Amino acid sequence: PRSSRSSTMSCAAAANANAAVRVIARPSPSSTRERRVAVVARAVDQSLNPRVAALNASKTVALTDLARSMKDAGADVIGLAAGEPDFATPEAVREAGKRAIDDGFTKYSPNDGTAGLRAAIAKKLKDENGLTYDASEIVLSNGAKQSVAQCVMAVCGPGDEVIVPAPYWVSYPEMVRLSGAESVILRTTADEGFLVTPEKLRSAITEKSRLLILCSPSNPSGAVYPKETLEELAKIVVEHPRLMVLSDEIYEHIVYAPAEHHSICGMKDMWERTMVVNGFSKSFAMTGWRLGYVAAPKRFARAMSMIQSQITSGPNSISQEAAMAALNLGYKGGDSVAEMVRAFEQRRNFVSARLNAIDGVKLPSVDGAFYVFPDVSALFGGDAEAEGFGPIADVDELCRYILEKGQVALVPGSAFGVPECLRISYAASNATLEDALTRIEKCLDPSLLKRNSSAAAR
């Protein structure tokens, strides 16, 4: 006769005939013979690491993917959401990548990147930025995004605070969240040029402050920190031995005169407390090649190398050969990069003029990168309403309205911590920008979009 326990299990199995079962064998308590016991499979525990569960999706990636899917489905959508140059990778760089394949550079690379490319980057940093690094203090990664994430993970943890000026790149706060640290969002304004002032920085620092993130030229605002401002910020940073700086300089070559790029790492006493992130995606139109790097004092570089060794190992070997060719194009990218920057500057001027002519749009000056970040707060909230669409409650709704009615994909400023603004990428052809601005102007025409009367009264 079966035991009561066996009977209970059999009844449970019979009661759930559709349940998946697995049969296990285990010794009988009374003999060495085995008996087979049917065990009803239970639902899988789908809980996640709380830090992962708390992450927010990237709105820039989501909107870019949405525009692409709409276009694939036949819609005439113009995507101005992506942070990606529309130019081809320079020919010499492409050819170097092809040769790398033919010459057998298709194996794993060293974890930190090839010695030759790290030495070339060290030379670039010395010649172009006045920064002195040994090749051992440089870690190449699969894109500057990975480099930024590894900086945060290497020096931040639970109980730490990371000062993140807003507007910020969408991934900074999420990387901080993943590290277990807490973001302290430091709002800047258009009147301040979207630059952190020394007074605001000083007010944000506490005994928990571990990292300040600066991005210059800025994504999303296009702001470029003048040397004098960086010097003032550096004086404050060095008063706090525990505070480090992550300087994201991925757009360094895309700067419009009279503005100039400067690294806070070059300011007095800042080398030992700064991690400089850069890469090849933006300046050399190599987004798909996925190659970035960080230069940092050896202790921190080794920590990031250790993280990388346990996550991805070394970066793409073919891309590293192409990157070597990019660095050989000349000072600051030579003619290839200079030509691209001239085109971006012309587009900036065109887009800025068109936007400034729209009632209710306010646009501060743009000194670098390839974005504009206008204040459009007069176009939503309160009694703002669009014909055939309905109320426009916030900037997210405004971007949805422009996407649905004008079929132009933009990114709401809420993604960057400034819900009064939206971001437009002008990394597109002149013809595409002309078409996009015409559509945007039509959507924002006062005959179709009623302004927020309370905002207009301010």
Average pLDDT over residues 147-175: 98
Please give the full DSSP string across 113-128, using - where no structure is assigned.
Answer: --HHHHHHHHHHHHHH
pLDDT (tens digit, 9 = 90+) per residue, 221-263? 999 999 999 999 999 999 999 999 999 999 999 999 999 999 9
Which tokens sit at 249?
């300089």
pLDDT (tens digit, 9 = 90+) per residue, 186-233? 999 998 999 999 999 999 999 999 999 999 999 999 999 999 999 999
- Residues 83, 427: contact at Cβ < 8 Å? yes
pLDDT at 14: 42
pLDDT (tens digit, 9 = 90+) per residue, 106-132? 999 999 999 999 999 999 999 999 999
pLDDT at 151: 98
Residue 38 has pLDDT above 60, yes or no: no
From CA 100, how far away is CA 323, in angstroms rounded?
11
Compute the C-alpha angle 318/320/325, nearest 5°: 105
Residue 357 has pLDDT above 60, yes or no: yes
pLDDT (tens digit, 9 = 90+) per residue, 303-334? 999 999 999 999 999 999 999 999 999 999 99
Average pLDDT over residues 97-111: 98
Buried b vs exposed e over 301-320: b needs ≥16 C-beta within 10 Å?
A: bbbbbebbeeeeebbbbbbb
- Residues 67, 320: contact at Cβ < 8 Å? no
**Residue 419: DSSP 8-state:** T
From CA 1, how far away is CA 268, in angstroms rounded?
86
Range with the lowest mean pLDDT among 12-16, 247-251, 416-420?
12-16
User: What is the three-class DSSP state of 318?
Assistant: helix
Average pLDDT over residues 393-412: 95
pLDDT at 59: 78
pLDDT (tens digit, 9 = 90+) per residue, 64-79? 788 888 888 888 999 9
pLDDT at 16: 42
| Torsional sign, CA 130, 365, 351, 167 | positive
Q: What is the mean pLDDT of the chain?
A: 91
**Residue 30 neighbours by CB distance under 10 Å:** 7
